[in-house]
Amino acid sequence: MEQLNVKLLTHYTHKMAKIEKKIQFYRAYGNEKYKPMIEKLEKKVEALNEKATLYSGKIKVENETKLVEIQKRLETETDVNRKKELEVSLSIAKDKEDAITNEEHILSLSHLSMRFGGLKAVDDLSFSVKKGEIFGLIGPNGAGKTTVFNCITQFYKSTLGAVYYTDHHGDVHNLNDYPVHKVIDLGIARTFQNVELIWELTVLDNLLVGAHSLFTVNFFEQMLHLPKLKKEEAILRSKAESILTSLGIIAYKNVIPYGLPYGILKKIELARVLMSDPRLIILDEPAAGLNDTETLELAKTIQNIQKTFGVTIILVEHDMELVMGICDRICAMSFGQRLAIGTPTEIQSNKQVQTAYLGGE
Ligand SMILES: Nc1ncnc2c1ncn2[C@@H]1O[C@H](COP(=O)(O)OP(=O)(O)OP(=O)(O)O)[C@@H](O)[C@H]1O
């Protein structure tokens, strides 16, 4: 039953996301004649949201029942290993309840573990990220940071644990229930360690390609080059221009990115990410390959993105100055486990962190 309710919630959420994209386009058309269409679609979203809320509620009740059941089983369980397993299940269910009731959080990792054969790359990791904050994940090489990102975005399916994400309607999803290509529909976008642009296309076209999932026109409408396609292209073009302007790189709009300074390429990549209207952006080593001036500039850009677009940002970074300078909170990892979590000041003064990451300085 639990799986059925989860499936129905994911189904209605996906449908809502599609219609919401359509509404955005019709609004951007700025034409009065689309007003009734927008109203009709908004009513559809409302109806779908009611269904999503209904199934969210059922999932919540099921979780509460599960909590009571596990607690009862724990009272009578005598096997030590089984008891440990039950304690983890209880804690995962409690984290789910917390994700549902605590409106402050956008993402909660609960007992996340990822094994590669005998290697525990992520080992029983739990932490929560607050809406609107810049959250840093630090740790030495091989600590498991990128694996955490891959588990959040479902590039890897974790061996154990849950990744709870609260969408803009307030519904809580375990991202493990989503295939990798549907995670973006929930408003989660990421960048990788290397800049990945299409070098033959202009900066603007790179942004438009990145936005292909936003088109509401179907394959046949695209093939026939219907006016609707042209309209949507024009809307996306103007959106891309406004993002490039706010990141201070509009001058590069018609330039082929090949050969541009790395700092500019990083900004173009961030601009492309913003095209999908993310609520949560995951940045994997954004400062890698940048010089000091470019890193400083990147720090400003990340802060600007957080403020202007009202997004939550999680980043993995080795550049401690950048991390300490822009993060609201930081989680320090070691050998796949959580070592400490807190504000930059708390992390800097944490003895274990000093020893493990900052070389005792
Ligand atoms: N696909 C994989 N198959 C096998 N082992 C892997 C895989 N991905 C990561 N690992 C291993 O998991 C551990 C954690 O790797 P991960 O890349 O997550 O660390 P990291 O903290 O991001 O390191 P870095 O700072 O160097 O990027 C490493 O020992 C790595 O070799």
User: pLDDT digit string (tens) for 70-93?
Assistant: 999 999 988 999 999 999 999 999
Whose C-alpha lies nearest to ligand 1, atom 11? 121
Whose C-alpha lies nearest to ligand 1, atom 8? 147
Domains of the chain: 1-101 (no CATH), 104-356 (3.40.50.300)
Query: Per-residue pLDDT averaged across 41-62, rounded?
Result: 94
Q: How confident is the model at residue 196 (pLDDT cuts 50, 70, 90)?
A: confident
Q: Tokens standing for 136?
A: 């840093």
Q: How far apart are CA 235 and CA 31, in angstroms?
A: 13
Give the residue carrying structure tokens 């991202």.
175
Q: How confident is the model at residue 62 (pLDDT cuts 50, 70, 90)?
A: very high
Q: Tokens standing for 262?
A: 């790395």
Q: How far apart are CA 275 and CA 90, in angstroms?
A: 39
Q: Which stretches does DSSP call E strand in the chain?
A: 105-116, 119-130, 134-138, 160-166, 172-174, 188-191, 280-284, 312-316, 329-334, 337-342
Query: Per-residue pLDDT averaged across 293-298, rounded?
Result: 93
Q: Which amino acid is at 131?
A: K
Question: Residues 291, 302: contact at Cβ < 8 Å?
Answer: no
Q: Tokens standing for 174?
A: 């375990």
ipTM: 0.97
Give the residue carrying structure tokens 């607690």.
71
Give bridge partners of residue 280 from the DSSP assignment: 188, 312
- 261-272 CB burial, b ≥16 within 10 A, e <16: eebbbbbbbbbb
**φ, ψ at 319 (rounded to 5°):** -75, 100
Whose C-alpha lies nearest to ligand 1, atom 29? 142
Q: Which residues line ligand 1 (CB under 6 A)?
A: 116, 119, 121, 139, 141-147
Q: Poorest-confidence range of 190-199, 295-304, 334-343, 351-360?
A: 351-360
By most ligand atoms within 8 Å of CB, the mutation choice from 113, 119, 338, 357 for ligand 1 is 119
Q: Would the pLDDT of 241 be above 90?
A: yes
Query: Per-residue pLDDT averaged across 225-233, rounded?
Result: 77
Q: Residue 28: CB partners within 8 Å, gap ≥ 6? A: 235, 238, 239
The whole model's pTM is what?
Answer: 0.90
| DSSP assignment letter at 337 | E
Whose C-alpha lies nearest to ligand 1, atom 30? 142
